[in-house]
């Protein structure tokens, strides 16, 4: 199966397969499902009879009610857990049928958009539906008192009673109901309208107890007075709808400090009255407007920063209009529906900028204004339609550790600079991935490196590389040339640079792995998977080894694993699967206390995996392992119980999460190199952008093991994938 399939889908399928296998085992292994229980079907049919001319043709006596429209069941128990009758034009003059409340396993109930003829909700009975997560009674033409029983639903996450103009709180009062609801720590969403939450026309103060709400809809009420200050304490709030009311007074501006709350609509025209405004940060909202309207912000001449990323703005932006913003240092228009062009040229006097973010802005050329910017620190022109040559002048400007992102464009050539390798005064990040670049790549000379530099050239068509030399010793390089068309041997000159990370996977490289890449002490991440490398792995690895990740999967490497690899005390990932290695099981790797991932599949390993020695040191052997893949080798013998007793991480069901493979930050920037990993399980390649500490897998299949499966395997309760004998 292709390794390019979406990692989330693969992860879901793996969990599903694992769940199904354990679930079937728990039910005797017959894999059967239970049909709808007779009492559940009877209650549903009684509910159907309470509607006038119901359009529920599949609801027939003698059939499996779990297959009826709008009905969902727990297939292990036959209990109805979902009933969705929303917007089916059902009518009832007798109100909610008592039979509904016999479905005590319901988790999701929707009756919205039907007509209950102004009948009242039952005073009691709702408390029987204790499993409810979601209750939708919106637009049902119900009337009367909101029953106290709803406030007893301790698992409720979503409650929608909106658009029922005759519903009210009296006995019990809104305050009493909210008093109970304040104990519902799961309630996230409450939509109410038409005087439900009113106290003499104001939002009732009891509402302040519901500070865990994520969504509040109070539109189309007749609420007056001030918007209450207590809403500013709702730290999880992402939606607040107060439309069509009669609020007055000053709006609590602290509401805009709520991190999850999004704005939508237009930028208000009155914003141009804020003549001293220096920063306008409106990233990741739902602002919808044409640029000519949004252009009002250009009248705010003291602006230093404009952040409008990830909205729904559209239209054409001419960069020459920035000439009036002489203090502007930061402009972000990325991820909208805008088209950015130069405008009038030559440019009038432009501000001296430091940060320019124009990703996904329909650019067809590099903005000419960059040629006249000498203080730039961060430029993002990714995901546009820029083609042709990347000019030399682009490298000549900028301050310390400038960062360029030109990925996902259509560049074809790097301009030949003088000298042959372009000289960059200082660079922190350069991403040219996913373009149409080809031929020989000359790695740029960087005269100053502050901390480290990440160079990403992946997903192009480069056929060879000329590494830079004389890299300053006070910095390091992380180089990604994966998924190109590199061929021939890996040049030994690449060892002249201080490569902290070297990613050359998915190319056509041949020959042995240069010894300097493993024996030298500065490489931390070495990824050479899916090439045609051969020969034996270099030995004589010194105690200064800093390797954290070694990925040599899918090559032609032979011989044995060098025993000196045990000097790599920081090693977390060793993947040498799909090679021609002939060796016994490397028990000696157990001393590496940081090792989490060991993949030896599809080689020629042989013999027993052995029993571990006794003693204090042995207790830590492989204790942090979360992925062990020994599949498709020639291992034999019994599986020793004590071996599995060492796998402490696989016994822990902790919910803590952490990145095993996410690389460190690049210098002082916020850029992260996101490592990826391919795990094969039961014939499927699962691609992850990062491995969380919660993911654990064990695969010993397609070997010659014999004897019983040790009982200690049953202690590995945190496994997401287990395959011992196939």
- Which CATH number belongs to the domain containing residue 368 in this structure? 3.80.10.10
With CA atoms as reference, report the closest residue to 447 among 405, 499, 492, 395.
395
Q: What pLDDT sits at residue 63?
A: 94
Same domain for 370 and 231, yes or no, is: no
Q: For residue 486, tell me if it sits in a domain.
A: no
pTM: 0.70
Same domain for 98 and 208, yes or no, is: yes
Q: For residue 419, tell me if it sits in a domain.
A: no
Q: How many CB atoms lie within 10 A of CB 652?
A: 16
| pLDDT of residue 194 exceeding 70 | no
Q: For residue 2, tell me if it sits in a domain.
A: yes
Most confident of 374-378, 382-386, 440-444: 382-386
| pLDDT of residue 632 exceeding 90 | yes
The residues facing 390 across adjacent strands are 414
Most confident of 120-124, 148-152, 165-169: 120-124
Q: For residue 87, tell me if it sits in a domain.
A: yes
What are 22-70's pLDDT values in tens digits?
333 333 334 456 889 999 999 999 999 999 878 899 999 999 999 999 9
- Measured CA to CA, the distance from residue 726 to residue 716 in angstroms comes to 19
Same domain for 9 and 65, yes or no, is: no
Burial class of residue 125, CB neighbours in 10 A (0-12, 13-18, 19+): middle
- Measured CA to CA, the distance from residue 410 to residue 44 in angstroms comes to 59
Q: What pLDDT sits at residue 667?
A: 38
| pLDDT of residue 571 exceeding 60 | yes
Q: What pLDDT sits at residue 238?
A: 75
669 CB contacts (<8 Å, ≥6 apart)? 378, 401, 403, 428, 429
Q: Of 58 and 204, which is predicted with more confidence?
A: 58
Last residue of a domain, one of 257, 284, 316: 257
| pLDDT of residue 518 exceeding 80 | yes
Same domain for 297 and 353, yes or no, is: yes
Q: For residue 518, tell me if it sits in a domain.
A: no
Question: Which structure tokens are listed for 272?
Answer: 């141009």
| pLDDT of residue 507 exceeding 60 | yes
Same domain for 288 and 219, yes or no, is: no
On whether the CB atoms of residues 282 and 305 are closer than 8 A, the answer is: no
Question: Which structure tokens are listed for 529?
Answer: 């998977």
With CA atoms as reference, report the closest residue to 548 among 420, 664, 672.
664
- Measured CA to CA, the distance from residue 499 to residue 597 in angstroms comes to 23
Question: What are the distances in angstroms from CA 429 to CA 198, 477, 523?
Answer: 56, 10, 18
- Measured CA to CA, the distance from residue 382 to residue 129 in angstroms comes to 52
Same domain for 84 and 15, yes or no, is: no
- Measured CA to CA, the distance from residue 76 to residue 94 in angstroms comes to 34
Q: For residue 434, tell me if it sits in a domain.
A: no
Same domain for 51 and 132, yes or no, is: yes
Question: Which structure tokens are listed for 243?
Answer: 């439309």
Query: Can you give the CATH number for the domain in which 583 is found?
Result: 3.80.10
Q: What pLDDT sits at residue 210?
A: 72
> Alpha-carbon dihedral of residues 182, 188, 193, 197, nearest 10 degrees?
20
Residue for token pair 């000359």 = 442
Q: Which domain holds residue 355?
A: 275-381
- Measured CA to CA, the distance from residue 643 to residue 637 in angstroms comes to 13
Last residue of a domain, one of 198, 225, 257: 257
On whether the CB atoms of residues 459 and 481 are closer than 8 A, the answer is: no
Same domain for 146 and 247, yes or no, is: yes
On whether the CB atoms of residues 509 and 485 are closer than 8 A, the answer is: no
On whether the CB atoms of residues 207 and 228 are closer than 8 A, the answer is: yes
Domains identified in the chain, total number = 3
Same domain for 151 and 180, yes or no, is: yes
Average pLDDT over the chain, rounded to an integer = 80
Mean pLDDT of 384-409: 85
Query: Which 3 state secondary structure label does DSSP give 683?
Result: coil
For 471-491, b/e burial (b = at least 16 CB within 10 A) is: beeebbbbbbbbbbebeeebe
Same domain for 589 and 644, yes or no, is: yes
714 CB contacts (<8 Å, ≥6 apart)? none
With CA atoms as reference, report the closest residue to 493 among 459, 474, 524, 517.
517
Burial class of residue 420, CB neighbours in 10 A (0-12, 13-18, 19+): exposed
Q: For residue 531, tell me if it sits in a domain.
A: no
Q: How many Å is the maximal CA-CA distance in the chain?
A: 88
Same domain for 116 and 195, yes or no, is: yes
Q: For residue 672, tell me if it sits in a domain.
A: yes
Last residue of a domain, one of 227, 257, 287: 257
Same domain for 287 and 353, yes or no, is: yes
């Amino acid at each position: 199966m292709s390794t390019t399939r979406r990692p989330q889908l693969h992860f879901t399928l793996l969990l599903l397969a694992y769940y199904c296998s354990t679930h079937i085992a728990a039910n005797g292994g017959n894999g059967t499902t239970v049909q709808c229980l007779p009492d559940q079907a009877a209650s549903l049919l009684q509910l159907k009879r309470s509607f006038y001319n119901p359009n529920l043709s599949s609801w027939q006596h003698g059939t499996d009610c779990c297959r009826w429209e709008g009905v969902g069941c727990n297939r292990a128990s036959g209990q109805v857990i979902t009933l969705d009758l929303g917007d089916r034009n059902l009518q009832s003059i007798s109100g909610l049928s008592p039979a509904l409340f016999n479905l005590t396993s319901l988790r999701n109930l929707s009756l919205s958009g039907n007509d209950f003829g102004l009948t009242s909700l039952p005073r009691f009975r709702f408390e029987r539906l204790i499993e409810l997560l979601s209750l939708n009674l919106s637009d049902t033409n119900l009337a009367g008192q909101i029953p106290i029983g709803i406030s007893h639903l301790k698992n409720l996450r979503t409650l929608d009673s909106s658009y029922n103009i005759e519903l009210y709180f009296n006995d019990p009062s809104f305050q009493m109901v909210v008093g109970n609801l304040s104990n519902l720590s799961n309630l996230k969403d409450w939509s109410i309208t038409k005087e439900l939450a009113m106290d003499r026309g104001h939002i009732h103060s009891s509402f302040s107890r519901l500070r865990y709400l994520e969504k509040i809809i109070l539109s189309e009420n007749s609420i007056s007075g001030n918007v209450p200050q207590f809403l500013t304490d709702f730290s999880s709030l992402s939606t607040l709808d107060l439309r069509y009311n009669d609020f007055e007074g000053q709006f609590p501006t602290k509401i805009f400090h709520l991190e999850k709350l999004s704005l939508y609509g237009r930028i208000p025209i009155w914003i141009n009255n804020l003549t001293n405004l220096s920063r306008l940060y409106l990233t990741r909202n739902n602002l919808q407007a044409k640029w000519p309207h949004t252009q009002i912000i250009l009248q705010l001449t003291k602006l230093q920063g404009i952040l409008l990323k990830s909205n729904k703005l559209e239209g054409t932006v001419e960069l020459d209009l920035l000439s009036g913003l002489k203090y502007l240092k930061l402009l972000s228009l990325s991820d909208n529906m805008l088209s950015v062009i130069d405008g009038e040229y030559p440019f009038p006097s432009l501000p001296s900028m430091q940060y320019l973010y124009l990703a996904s802005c329909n650019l067809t050329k590099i903005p000419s204004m960059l040629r006249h910017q000498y203080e730039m620190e961060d430029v993002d022109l990714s995901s546009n339609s820029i083609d042709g040559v990347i000019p030399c002048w682009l490298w000549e400007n900028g301050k310390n550790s400038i960062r360029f992102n030109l990925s996902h464009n259509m560049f074809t050539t790097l301009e030949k600079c003088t000298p042959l390798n372009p000289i960059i005064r200082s660079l922190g990040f350069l991403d040219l991935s996913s373009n149409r670049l080809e031929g020989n790549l000359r790695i740029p000379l960087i005269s100053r490196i502050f901390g480290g530099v990440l160079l990403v050239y992946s997903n192009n068509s480069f056929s060879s590389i000329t590494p830079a030399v004389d890299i300053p010793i006070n910095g390091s390089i992380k180089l990604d040339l994966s998924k190109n068309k590199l061929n021939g041997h890996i040049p030994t000159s690449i060892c002249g640079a201080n490569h902290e990370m070297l990613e050359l996977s998915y190319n056509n490289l041949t020959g042995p792995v240069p010894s300097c890449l493993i024996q030298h002490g500065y490489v931390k991440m070495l990824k050479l998977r899916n090439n045609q490398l051969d020969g034996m792995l270099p030995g004589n690895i010194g105690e200064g080894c800093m390797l954290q990740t070694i990925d040599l999967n899918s090559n032609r490497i032979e011989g044995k694993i060098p025993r000196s690899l045990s000097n790599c005390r920081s090693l977390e990932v060793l993947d040498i699967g799909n090679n021609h290695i002939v060796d016994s099981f490397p028990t000696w790797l157990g001393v590496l206390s940081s090792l989490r991932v060991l993949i030896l599949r599809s080689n020629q390993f042989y013999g027993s995996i052995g029993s571990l020695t006794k003693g204090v040191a042995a207790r830590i052997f492989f204790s942090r392992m979360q992925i062990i893949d020994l599949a498709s080798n020639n291992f034999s013998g019994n599986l020793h119980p004590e071996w599995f007793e060492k796998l402490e991480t696989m016994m822990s069901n902790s919910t803590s999460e952490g990145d095993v493979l996410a690389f460190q930050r690049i210098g002082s920037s916020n850029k992260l190199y996101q490592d990826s990993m391919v795990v094969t399980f039961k014939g499927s390649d699962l691609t992850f952008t990062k491995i969380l500490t919660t993911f654990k897998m064990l695969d010993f299949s397609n070997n010659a093991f014999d004897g019983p499966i040790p009982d200690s395997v049953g202690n590995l309760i945190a496994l997401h994938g287990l395959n011992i004998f196939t």
